[in-house]
Structure 1
């Protein structure tokens, strides 16, 4: 039996396209709050720090639900978990169109965050059941382009909907889209059956991933796995800060109208797609030519993160025209997104298949803490320096640079998939800890 046994390209890519559509919906749900920030803050009479609290509340139960459902995905088919998520997302959009108090809106965002938290690890786990390790970069990269497309459409369409029908109509439309996807998934969603046999990347610590299980205490103290978690945290920190505050930065600080700010937001988000796909393709190409994962995945992620950090610091430290700031921000925000593709792939190299869903979920849960903290911290920085002062936002965005640099240094020192793979088989337990 070869590593490609069970690989069915046509069905695999069909599922990828369906999950990419779900990623689009997921990120529309996330970004809509930032896109309607100005009218929402005005109507609900929220300060920047209060709005940052509401935005960050999306992630309060995000991590807990992600871990719980991640462990469940080891036992329950991902097709049913994904269907349940799609239905819940559609239902939970409606209260956001009706509530008018900060407390009620906050509770609604907390509930939606809990429902959306498990989406990414369950989707990646589902795709990994369809694709072998050496072919996993591009489908997950495409999945992330669904997220990028969602952000792009948000920038183009949400300001138009808000302008003509008010900011609440966006939540009604999103609920309807989620319901349509759920019906389609019920009709076409299937479970992959690809298992890993005979591969050089055979599983955690040299284990045959199809059978052995490693104690979770061993997995969760491994330097490689902890370094992957930190890389994810840095990427989510940047995403949380950017998606929450970029629309307001463009409108209030740089002086663009609501519609123009939306279009420039779309340009910034659109930049991420070719950068993410290009770096993911490069990594997969390097692997195909025999490069070790340390070079093709780890060093590539660190290089992208460091480049992004330098650009965020330049944005805060240099005097630039508004369009120049947008250009710098676009590239700075695009580079670290490759971590969203390569971090789960690195985890899948060193974790048994039977525990992969749980570990990717734990990774997403811990990473998402960055997206929970960043909007609140940036909101406080903005409030302290003035919500119409561009430098206030740029100082907030520069916090991402610090996190990205620390994560890169840690990964370069301790993230070695090959070392985990060389662990002696005698260290492997047959039951999970």
Structure 2
């Protein structure tokens, strides 16, 4: 049988890659921007955080729109908006215009995770979900890896404005390919009949206790977000995501500044150094997703047993606690690589766990949007809190300690609050608690 659905994984990987290239471009150019606009550490913290304000605000509306209007149109509109905003960031003439461009970019990027979750549910058999979700999420680490090396050199030679123009234009190339080739599996002409049948037959989770008949993809009516919020499991997934994303945004926003201020690396050397742990996270994150699929029996998918892998990944991310005690650059590179691998794997496994625990696919995008909002509330705090920590202590050490402690808390939440499938009616006898 052909594996043409692999092209869907390529689309999702590159979507996330471009998304995070555009996000981290500001971090790479932070020093010249701070100099030009005379910004303090606290001021940069607010600027780093700004795109998350609109991103978090629009996530749930975008999730609802994706469920209603479909992934092709919504993904196309989203990447057009955020790519245009990224290009216009390079034309910012003052702090206000820079801030507005980042806010518009964040609003456009709010489509990406709801689209990714919906596409995976439509296209990928349940037994392959962990690996493909990991491929989608690993793009968010490939983006910083590429951006750190490539845009760092670009900033050093041509100035910070050029980096935003280049990063934004890449998104328009992706948009053209998406509009030309993407469709749902039942309509994609380039998909063989045998592969189409496999996808349509195997894309739903099979809970330990059979889900109600109306929970199938073809017949389910949308439960609505308010109904889904009655499930403690959805809140557990969102809290886990929050504890994890705090560290992710600490790296995305402050890592280049930390390397330049505390480790005395130049902008170009910072880019090369930061690219290594991000690149390691890409490969190891996909491996973690593949292993989670391999060791999960098909009957275990709907029980949420993947939560054990989520907790293990979060504890791996807690390696960031070692940063204040690491003086050697090679050792620091190893600690960052381990930490980012844990953080990347947690996100992809947590997203796969959401799909595992949601019996039908009609509400996937809005449920994903809620989980990502939970993550980005913490992510919104991370750049600002770090700015205040640096301003108050003159050091980054407590910023790393806070992030590591949250990783431990997130592991506990994952193990204790995600033990039941997501149901609009938690007391219903149709879907029972997992036994593991």
TM-score (ref. length: structure 2): 0.88
1:129-278 paired onto structure 2 within 5 Å: 129-193=122-186, 195=200, 200-201=206-207, 206=212, 208-210=214-216, 211-212=219-220, 213-214=222-223, 216-278=225-287
Pick from 400, 411, 414 the counterpart of residue 397 of structure 1.
Answer: 400
Pick from 342, 352, 358 the counterpart of residue 349 of structure 2.
Answer: 342
Mapped partners of 2:252, 2:40: distance in 1: 18
Mapped partners of 1:329, 1:422: distance in 2: 42
Mapped partners of 2:224, 2:77: distance in 1: 30
Stretch of structure 1 that moved more, 19-28 or 9-18: 9-18
- Aligned-pair CA distance for 1:214: 3.8
Corresponding residue number in structure 2 for 1:431: none
Corresponding residue number in structure 1 for 2:414: 411
Mapped partners of 1:415, 1:357: distance in 2: 19
The alignment yields a C-alpha RMSD, in angstroms, of 2.6
Stretch of structure 1 that moved more, 198-207 or 28-37: 198-207
Q: Which runs of 5+ in 2 are unaligned?
A: 187-198, 432-436
Check the 8 A contact 1:159/1:258 in 2, yes or no: yes
Q: 1:163 to 1:319 in 2, by over 3 A?
A: closer
Corresponding residue number in structure 2 for 1:4: none
Q: 1:94 to 1:116 in 2, by over 3 A?
A: same
Check the 8 A contact 1:287/1:293 in 2, yes or no: no
Corresponding residue number in structure 1 for 2:75: 82
Corresponding residue number in structure 1 for 2:361: 353
Corresponding residue number in structure 1 for 2:339: 332
Q: 1:159 to 1:372 in 2, by over 3 A?
A: same
Check the 8 A contact 2:206/2:302 in 1, yes or no: no
Q: 1:422 to 1:98 in 2, by over 3 A?
A: closer
Q: 1:161 to 1:420 in 2, by over 3 A?
A: same
Corresponding residue number in structure 2 for 1:92: 85
Mapped partners of 2:298, 2:59: distance in 1: 35
- Aligned-pair CA distance for 1:363: 1.2
Task: Please give the per-residue CA displacement for 1:224-248, whole angstroms capped at 9, x wherever unaligned.
Answer: 2211111111221111111101111
The size of the alignment, in residue pairs, is: 414
Helix, strand or coil for the counterpart of 1:200? coil
Stretch of structure 1 that moved more, 189-198 or 232-241: 189-198
- Aligned-pair CA distance for 1:204: 9.8
Mapped partners of 1:411, 1:322: distance in 2: 33
Corresponding residue number in structure 2 for 1:56: 49
Pick from 6, 17, 25 the counterpart of residue 18 of structure 2.
Answer: 25
Q: 1:199 to 1:252 in 2, by over 3 A?
A: closer
Q: 1:285 to 1:97 in 2, by over 3 A?
A: same
Q: 1:108 to 1:372 in 2, by over 3 A?
A: same
Check the 8 A contact 2:207/2:299 in 1, yes or no: no
Pick from 375, 385, 388 the counterpart of residue 393 of structure 2.
Answer: 385
Q: 1:94 to 1:294 in 2, by over 3 A?
A: same
Check the 8 A contact 1:227/1:407 in 2, yes or no: no
TM-score (ref. length: structure 1): 0.88
